[in-house]
Amino acid sequence: MLDPQLFRKDLHGTVERLRKRRFDFDIDQYADLERVRKVLQVESQALRSERNTSSKAIGQAKAKGEDIAPLLREQDKLGSDLKSKELELNQVQEQLQNLLAGVPNLAHDSVPIGDEESENQEVRVWGDKPKFDFVVKDHVDLGNKLGMMDFDTAAKITGARFVVMHSHLACLHRALTQFMLDLHTGEHGYEETYVPYLVNPESLFGTGQLPKFAQDQFVTKDEGWYLIPTAEVPVTNLVRNEIVEAQDLPIKRVAHTPCFRREAGSYGKDTRGMIRQHQFEKVELVQIVHPEHSYEALEELTAHAEAVLQRLRLPYRVVSLCTGDLGFASAKTYDLEVWIPSQNRYREISSCSNFEAFQARRMQARFKQPGRQGNEPVHTLNGSGLAVGRTLVAVMENYQQHDGTIVVPQALAPYMRGISALQPIR
């Protein structure tokens, strides 16, 4: 949610900035609601104040044994006036709230202007793409040939967009997770955190997935809990409704969780393989920071995610998402895209965003400014460090050999129980 003050103090400037982001803000509806809200709020507060005063007078009169009947008659009208005013006010406030809750974040000045993915800006490229003197296979064929990856059985157990993995491939998948966690806790200063995988709707509202993206989530029938689409939700919501001390910032957390996405509306996309699944593992980095430092933190966090790819020696590039491609809650996002040989292109493997105060305001996550009156919203950031399933795909494809075996990257050696290459099980 944006700061309501922005709309009150600089309505047209704010609307202009939203337009850059391809969002059309309904000025007339907003202005009408805001005008009515102000009047109703002042009036109902005055009425309530009046009622409080006379209720007190009634109490005192009664204590003295005076006749309170005439006073009560006077109160009658006051009460019903107040009730109807407050009802009106509540409705208007709800409408305003809904209007503002649907407005996306403003893009940072450094974000490239554009409408679609093709206008994203390449920031840097790392690593040399592997050269193969044979026809490359994709991870589906590779996994199949190894006898360690099985989509058909997953479809039998559940449905499309799930996978079953066996043996050394399942081990490689787990090794990736542990490697990432150890790197971020050991070298990048994150605290490892374990969180619930089912969350209430308030948490999803806080990080911005609700109300707009309800159709992307899995939800439990009886409780109305949501399976997390990313660890961002539970981890960022750790500070929901909290006031943290300035000295406790930055808070840096890393969590490994499964993620669940309905992938509604992407029926034709990436139907083959592990790129787009309903369930996947992710190691997520979250930072809660002082507003003055959030852009340094974004660079730092992005570098932390990049470090994973560098240690695994996987070629990638970093792109800055353009205004039209930016996520709802984000002010600036770097996508990390890893090289996928079978597709002969880079594919997203991490998304690192600064949400500034957007999520914090929705969550009421604040911090005390020493020497200053009142509390300010914190800034929140997160990034995948990395999406484990897609990292597995990248490792399989980039480390494949002519005979279909897969060399295990050096960095994973400590986690692979001496397995140096994946070979078909006999």
By the criterion CB under 7 A, which residues form the site for RNA?
A: 4, 8, 38, 41-42, 45-46, 48-49, 51-56, 58-60, 62-63, 72, 75-76, 78-79, 243, 366, 368, 374-375
Comparison of 77 and 269: residue with beta carbon closer to RNA: 77
Q: Which helix (H) or strand (E) holds 151?
A: helix 151-157
Comparison of 67 and 76: residue with beta carbon closer to RNA: 76
What is the separation, in whole angstroms, between the first and last Cα of the chain? 57
Comparison of 69 and 135: residue with beta carbon closer to RNA: 69
Contact 324, 342 (CB under 8 A): no
Comparison of 46 and 113: residue with beta carbon closer to RNA: 46
In angstroms, give the least distance from the CB of 389 to RNA: 25
Per-residue burial over 15-30, b if 16 or more Cβ lie within 10 Å, else e, is bebbeebbbebeeeeb
- Contacts of 86 by beta carbon, 8 Å cutoff, 6+ apart: 44, 48
Comparison of 62 and 156: residue with beta carbon closer to RNA: 62
In angstroms, give the least distance from the CB of 101 to RNA: 15
Q: Using only the alpha carbons of the chain, give its radius of gyration.
A: 27
d(CA 37, CA 17): 25
Per-residue burial over 327-351, b if 16 or more Cβ lie within 10 Å, else e, is ebbbbbbbbbbbbbbbeeebbebbb
Nearest to 311, CA basis, from 124, 405, 421, 184: 184
**Which amino acid does the sequence have at 333?**
T
Strand stretches in 32-182, DSSP E: 121-126, 149-150, 164-165
Nearest to 5, CA basis, from 398, 269, 245, 361: 361
- Contacts of 118 by beta carbon, 8 Å cutoff, 6+ apart: none
Give burial (CB, 10 Å; 0-12/13-18/19+) of 293.
middle
Comparison of 49 and 118: residue with beta carbon closer to RNA: 49
Catalytic residues: 261, 276, 348, 351, 390
Comparison of 215 and 373: residue with beta carbon closer to RNA: 373
d(CA 303, CA 292): 19
- Contacts of 156 by beta carbon, 8 Å cutoff, 6+ apart: none
Give burial (CB, 10 Å; 0-12/13-18/19+) of 403.
exposed
Left, alpha or beta for 323 (phi > 0: left; psi -120 to 50: alpha)? alpha
In angstroms, give the least distance from the CB of 330 to RNA: 23
In angstroms, give the least distance from the CB of 290 to RNA: 16
